[in-house]
Structure 1
Amino acid sequence: MKPYTIIEYPEHRPFTISSNRGYFIGYLDLVPDGMGYHKKGEMNGLWYPPLRALKNVYVSDGERILKPIRAEIGYNKTKFLFDGSDLDISFDDGSVFTAMLTNRTQESRVLVIELLPETVWYSINDTRVIPKKRTVTVYSYMFPEVSLRIRSTADLSIEGSRLTIHSNRRTSVRVWANSIISGEQHMKMNGYADIDRFSVLISRDRYLSRNFRLAKDNMIRLSLMVPGIGYGIMAGHPDFPWFFGIDTLLSINGMLDSGLFDLAFGSLNVLARFSRSGKIPHEVLTSGKVYNDGDLEETAMFPYAVFRYARWTGHDEKVKHLVQTASESFDYLFNSGYRGRGIMEDPDAGTGVDIDTVSFTIMSLKEFEKMMTLDQHIVGEIADRIRPREKIGDLMKLLRSFWMPEKNTFANRIVDRVPFDLGFWTSIVPFYAGLPDPELYGRFVSDQGGLSRLSSIYGIRVDANGNSMPINTGMFVLGAIRYGDIERASEYFRKLNASLGSFSPNSYPEIINNPQGCYLQAWSAAIYLESVVEGFFGVHPEGDRIVSIPHSADVIPSDTRIRNLIFRDGSYEFKL
């Protein structure tokens, strides 16, 4: 499979290339434009968070902007072809960004860079520029530890925010951050090479193999190391290029299923680092600012992710501080009475107990119980205090009180002991967790059940507004498989498959049917991987090994296999 995709006469669609330290967001037709809403129109460009060096890069003949006739999009590089000239933009292994213009004509070609430095959202843009003959330095007093250097092979000309370089044959501009050049890095990080090292799907359905591979690519593309903050997965581009609690936690299984153990550990470590008394943050900016210190469902899900990681990787000593944070998360949950904001950000959020918080807490307690049987020396000292079996029994009673028999669905929230069906997708979360009896699943998916009111041609709707998200659809795929409903799981997996490339080539979006969301979203890619590996292949840990109980489905050919699936120190291969 080629490491790039060819697009003839590219349109005005967004794309991302990245490295472990920086990323570039642009448009495929190279027509300069803005993107995003957090800093309106300023989320694109070349970022070494928390600073942006430049906004748009394009080619001119001195009078007009030239559009490429072809683009070759890769993970960390993209080539744009014009009549008689090429523009290559790329990151090298050291995260240095290069824009190289090659001119094979006798006509003038100009490499134009919009030198519009910015700082991350929710910070003051006090960036400064120091231009010289062939270099430009970008710095900020707000973030004095980070500065950016731009170096050209030819003389620079700056007019306003436009930096231009005339090219007769070949001209290049290199950009880097001082923080990635100055010191040796000791942290282990996953990279693009790991896409073909771990969890390789081999199928005669080449689209299935491609989509699976691209899901891994999407997660690597959204991984980032930010000096002083940590290494982990970003939520999405263009508007969520920082750390989110729930996005990370719902992506953990996808990371483990694809062998991205370093990314999983780093992501959990960031959340633990910025937690407060076990409360897991919702939103940590690349400036280090905690914009939202956490919704309750994130604290409920964190222990599950920690114990799942520990069971999957076998890293005993490495996870001690994460286990301690998970223990504090349990205390925070129990003290809250499970009352607080869940995953839905509606006006009445926080007024009661949400179904997702309860379901995620049960998942965490069940995973804790499994961890107890394997690694007593790590969790034994907190087991007596938490009493997971007792807590699970109480929470299962609470979960049953959410069921609304007159609607054949779970309520989204209980307020003052009254259940409310608000039309939110969170009614599927208990089924994703495999908690209700099969009878309730049957009633939920019946013609008069809750599923009929949540479904659309695109998948599972978030709410009455009609947006459908791959994460919701994928969670239902997994829930249907857990109840042996392979036909319905296949139906929704097709919709999940169809989401790829909705708004950007090779990218799983935040929302399938609305371009206002992120065109590249981590948890959308992660749930695709989880649906295949833990869903249709039925891969799950049993003691110190993993096993597969496959589910035959027409969406995955019967001879499809996964090789180099990593669990602890072993490598496994499974066939459907």
Structure 2
Amino acid sequence: MVHSARQQQPFAGATIQRWPWSIERDHDLENPFVTAGNRVYSVATQHGEFPEIGWRQPNEMSGVWDHPIKLLDGFWFGVSYGPTPLIGPARKIHWLTKASRWCMTPGEVEITYQLPGLHVVRQEYGVDDHEGILVRLHLVNNGQKALDLRLHFLAHTDLRAAWLGENRLIWRDGQDEAIYLDEQACIAAYNTVNPAYVLFGASTRPAAIAIGPDLSITKQTPGQGISGHLRYTLHLPVSGSEEMRYIIAGSTHSSSAASATFDLLKHSFEELAQQQRQRYQKIIERSALYSDDELIETAFGWAKLNLQMLERVVPTIGQGISAGLPDFPWWFGKDTTFTALALVASGQFELALTSLRNLAHHSQLVNNNGSMVHEILTLGRIHDGGHLVEVPLFVRACYHVFLWTGDQQFLRDIYDFCVRGLMEYVLGSTGSEDELCATGKGMVESRELQSGKGFKTLDIAAYTYQALLCLAELASAIGDDQRVPDLRDKARRIREFVNTTWWLADENLFGDIYACAQDIQDAHQSLRADGPLWPGDLKEVDHTAAALASFMEQHGHDASIVRQERPWLLKHMIAAIPMETGLATPEHATRAFTRLESEEFNGPWGLYLNPERQPVTMTLPNGIMAAAEAEYQRMDQALVYSQHIARTMDQRMPGAFSEISPDGGCFIQGWSGYGIIWPVVHSFFGFQPDVARKHVRFIPHFPASWHTAQLHSVRVGATSMDLEVTKSSHDARIVLETHDLSYEITLGYTWIGMTMPNRITLNGEEISFQTEVFYQGREDDQTTRGYTLQIPTMRGLQRYELHLIW
């Protein structure tokens, strides 16, 4: 299908075009962006400056990184007019640090500058699978006279280790030194203590060079780096144009490797730039969404690209999707388990598989007890040995990745690890056999809830329930059939226990934790004894302590009651997770949603982390709410939370979604894609493949505001499929096209409020069907009644067109 270019401006902060894709901004250019390669990336402002930003390594997280080391604090381009010495007051250098426009297209970033009589466009490319980046300057004389120009390329090295390198490893930062390599016409810098190297230069020879500790860079930077300044001469006639190509290459182990990379990038500049554009264009074209919801269509496309921008490859250490930039450019257990679902639903199978393998490898290497590590640094060290909740999340992620890919080797590789983690590590930490609810560290990373061994938290219970069902399916797929009944029975028991015991009827919510008052008191006493609490921690502890005091007063300090486990409502965002996982009964879900959707729990950007103690919004809780609403067929409400995420797309880096909504934390965050891609594919389109069994289920349920949408080139195992849904007040049309005729196809449709259709056809012929009735609210409220219609499963056709007519 051919789609013409469509221009839209749904935001105040950016201009957006699709087919061909671009996003641009001409103001607020002090915000950051990334030029992304999976080996080397650069973080700068949209002006082309390198600010002192960062939390993990304060003021050091911008610049050029080749993990596990940093290469450059920054690099700058400048222009001076007429003959002039390299450095000196005779002619002013116009540094390109004040842009008029910033634009990103798939695989390319473009920054525009206006100088006297001169138009300059800077294009940057990450280079996947190579340790370098490429920069092109295109200069056009738009004045009335010829121009003699001096082009300046200035870079300042900072060959240091990534976070904790100097604290935990033998790395000790040494002074950087540099030399000019005449044969390659570039400057080569190296760390005098450690194996760290960077080369930078252009495709042409410089007229002059200078090397020194400080060559009047745009601002002083700390550290033991060194500056290199290369000057090039250029003559531009009236209306003339010229192009300059610049290369930055590095190595984490040898000067010869850095030199070889520089030569490769220099001599294959155009080819590599084109490969990068094509790689990102392929991501845009695969699982391509076309919809009458322009906001979600646009966010869906850029969310797919965001995932690739965050791939991090460090040979001998690891490979997979990192969490976010600038502060989390390495691998996390929790983050990966959510992004893996977005990756497979958008066709990025390889990155999903390598990311999960990376987690399993490091977890087995370091923990070797079935637990999942939480934070893997690119230096090869584990910063955090793991949170218990990450084990069931990992099992869920493996299940969905296997469904989409059908990768039998992946299943064989991870199955035993999943069994050990869930059955021994998670369920092995439970209390009584009747409960099956584990004690440990959950989603909420507060000192209160993660003190000691943690508590029985709602998220751990719900994700364990879901993981047991997922593991049962994996067991069946691998032939471990004798395990299946026990797994499903344990899931049933958890669901019954949580719905019966954790539900607070007077609050219409589940308790965040299940504990006795004495355990909470003991945890608070230990926290206070450990030392001073941060203001946020103190606020949390004091709030719970007040609830405890009220409870004690109510029950007269009865020892038996004090030591009796019960649910406690703390109002964390994990209140949504029983619905995300399908654990909550429909009645409990309806009541919980009523409260969670209220202004008590929501601000202008969506769900609060905690309305009383941490009233800020992050994209992951919004994604969890979107998935939760969709799990109970509440598609209109699910769309609202996806739109909350989508509306942050122009806040900092156009086309990216900040960790904290609308513009806080990391400016690009991987898990944001879960709240956009997963609801669209898995829920709105109702597309659920099982590649190993050669079966696809396609039963869409669109939000009321959606009338037509298509997903083209949806990757399903080794094939692809095209999906289309159109609906009106009198009919609905569901179309699936495939070139692999061996798949069994289950088609259907879900809707709210209308009666049964008068006529149902498949490819023009009437066909039998079955229906299920459900309610979004109370069963006595007919306005919330819905239907799911399904026709018999079949195979052997290239096109399946289901038509419902009312």
Q: Which has the larger radius of gyration?
A: 2
- Confirm or deny: 8 A CA contact 1:17 1:25 kept in the other structure: yes
Following superposition, the deviation at residue 51 of structure 1 comes to: 1.1
Within 2, Cα distance between the matches of 1:241 and 1:18?
Answer: 11
Q: How much does 1:478 deviate? A: 1.9
Query: Residue in 2 aligned with 1:177?
Result: 250
Q: CA deviation at 1:234?
A: 0.6
1:369 CA drift (Å): 1.9
State the SS of the aligned residue for 2:155.
strand
Sort the Cα spacing of 1:328 and 1:147 in 2 relative to 1 into closer, same or farther, 3 A. Answer: farther
Corresponding residue for 1:91?
Answer: 126
Gaps of 5+ in 1: none
Check 1:304–1:165 CA distance in 2 against 1; reply closer, same or farther (3 A cut): same
In structure 2, the partner of 1:335 is 428
Query: What corresponds to 2:702 in structure 1?
Result: 552
User: In structure 2, do the counterparts of structure 1 residues 17 and 247 end up closer, same or farther at CA, with 3 Å as the change threshold?
Assistant: same
The corresponding residue for 1:159 is: 212
1:545-568 deviation per Cα after TM superposition (whole angstroms, max 9, x unaligned): 222221122443x22111211222
Kindly indicate whether the alpha-carbon contact (under 8 Å) linking 1:10 and 1:29 is maintained by their aligned counterparts in 2.
Answer: no
- The offset of 1:9, in angstroms, is 5.0
Distance 1:527 1:467 in 2: 17
* 8 Å CA contact retained: 2:36, 2:127: no
SS at match of 1:106: strand
Q: What is aligned with 1:225? A: 313
Residue of structure 2 in register with 1:346 after alignment: 446
Which residue number corresponds to residue 455 of structure 1?
A: 602
CA distance in 2, matches of 1:559, 1:489: 18
2 CA distance for matches of 1:137 and 1:31?
21
Task: Say if 1:360 and 1:80 are closer, same or farther in 2 by CA, change over 3 A.
Answer: same
Say if 2:37 is the partner of 1:19: yes
Pick the aligned partner of 1:236 from 311, 318, 324.
324
Distance in 1 (CA, whole Å) between partners of 2:711 and 2:428 is 43
State how 1:317-396 maps to structure 2 within 5 Å: 317-330=409-422, 331-337=424-430, 338-350=438-450, 351-373=454-476, 375-377=477-479, 379-380=480-481, 383=483, 387-396=486-495
Counterparts in 2 of 1:213 and 1:117: CA distance versus 1, 3 Å: same
Structure-1 separation of matches of 2:418 and 2:209: 53
Q: Is 1:534 aligned to 2:687, yes or no?
A: no
* Partners of 1:114 and 1:367 in 2: CA distance: 51
Per the alignment, in what secondary structure is the counterpart of residue 52 of structure 1? strand
- Determine the structure 2 residue equivalent to 1:408: 508
Which TM-score applies when normalising by structure 2? 0.66
Q: CA offset at residue 71 of structure 1?
A: 2.5
Residue type at the aligned position of 1:230: G
Which residue is equivalent to 2:567? 419
The alignment status of 1:311 with 2:459, answered yes or no, reads no
When the two chains are superposed, the root-mean-square deviation of aligned CA atoms in Å is 2.6
Which stretch has the larger CA shift, 277-286 or 169-178?
Answer: 169-178
The CA deviation string for residues 186-218 of structure 1, in whole angstroms up to 9 with x for no partner, is xxx995243134211122444433221101000
Preserved contact between residue 470 and residue 499 of structure 1 (Cα < 8 Å): no
Structure 2 residue 284 is matched with structure 1 residue 284: no
What letter matches 1:98 in structure 2? Answer: L
AA aligned to 2:696 is: I
2: CA distance, partners of 1:269 / 1:246: 14
For 2:634 and 2:392, locate their aligned partners in 1 and report how far apart those are by CA, in whole Å.
Answer: 28
TM-fit CA distance, 1:450: 7.6
The equivalent position to 1:35 in structure 2, one of 39, 47, 53, is 53
Q: Which moved more, 1:247-256 or 1:86-95?
A: 86-95
| Residue 110 of structure 1: aligned partner | 152
SS, match of residue 25 in structure 1: strand
Contact 2:607 2:617 in 1 (8 A): yes
- Residue 305 of structure 1: SS of its match in structure 2? helix
Question: What are the superposed Cα offsets for residues 387-406 of structure 1, whole Å, 9 maximum, x if unpaired?
Answer: 20232133223322221111
Q: 1:132 matched to which residue of 2?
A: 179
Alpha-carbon separation, structure 2, partners of 1:450 and 1:321: 41
Contact 2:580 2:627 in 1 (8 A): yes
**Cα offsets for 1:70-106 (capped at 9, x unmatched):** 2232344323222323333323455331234455543
Partner Cα separation in structure 2 for residue 156 and residue 363 of structure 1? 62
The structure 2 residue matched to 1:72, chosen from 92, 97, 103, is: 103
CA contact (8 A) 1:494 1:555 kept: no
- C-alpha contact 2:687 2:697 (8 A) present in aligned 1: yes
Distance change (3 Å), C-alpha of 1:9 and 1:511: closer
Number of residue pairs matched by the alignment: 563
> What's the secondary structure of 1:208's corresponding residue?
helix
Matches within 5 A, 1:511-526: 511-513=660-662, 515-526=663-674
In the other structure, the counterpart of 1:497 is 646
Please tell me whether the aligned partners of residues 216 and 258 of structure 1 are also in contact (alpha carbons under 8 angstroms). yes
Moved more, 502-511 or 173-182: 173-182
Match for residue 758 of structure 2? Answer: none
Q: Structure 1 residues 86, 497: closer, same or farther in 2, change over 3 A? A: closer
Judged with a 3 Å threshold, the aligned counterparts in structure 2 of structure 1 residues 268 and 139 are, in CA distance, closer, same or farther, namely: farther
The partner residue of 1:200 within 288, 291, 297 is: 288
What's the counterpart of residue 261 of structure 1? 349
- Give the Cα–Cα distance (whole angstroms) in 2 for the partners of residues 138 and 460 of structure 1: 48
> What is the aligned partner in structure 1 of residue 766 from structure 2?
none
User: What CA distance in whole angstroms lies between the structure 2 residues aligned with 1:175 and 1:31?
Assistant: 16
- Equivalent residue of 2:410, what SS? helix
2:344 and 2:227 map into 1 onto residues whose CA distance is 44
Residues 406 and 537 of structure 1: is their aligned pair in 2 closer, same or farther, counting only changes over 3 Å?
A: same
2:504 alignment partner AA: M
SS in 2 for 1:344: coil
1:49 to partner: Cα distance = 0.5
Say whether the 8 Å CA contact 1:219–1:526 is kept in structure 2: no
TM score, norm. by length of structure 1: 0.91
Q: Which range is displaced more, 494-503 or 10-19?
A: 494-503
With over 3 angstroms needed to count, the CA separation of the structure-2 counterparts of 1:452 and 1:100, relative to structure 1, is closer
Deviation at 1:163, TM superposition (A): 2.5
- 1:480 maps to which of 593, 607, 629: 629
Q: Distance in 2 between matches of 1:284 and 1:49?
A: 12
Shift of 1:485: 2.0
Distance in 2 of aligned mates of 1:69 and 1:159: 31
Residue 304 (structure 2) aligns with? 216
Q: How far off is 1:376 after superposition?
A: 3.6
Q: Alignment partner of 1:156: what SS?
A: strand
Structure 1's 346 and 178: CA in aligned 2 closer, same or farther, altered over 3 A?
closer
How far, CA to CA, are the matches of 1:545 and 1:551 in structure 2? 19
In 2, Cα distance between equivalents of 1:369 and 1:147? 50
Measured after TM superposition, the shift of residue 140 of structure 1 is 7.5
8 Å CA contact retained: 2:303, 2:676: yes
Q: Secondary structure at the match of 1:500?
A: coil
Distance in 2, Cα, partners of 1:141 & 1:342: 41
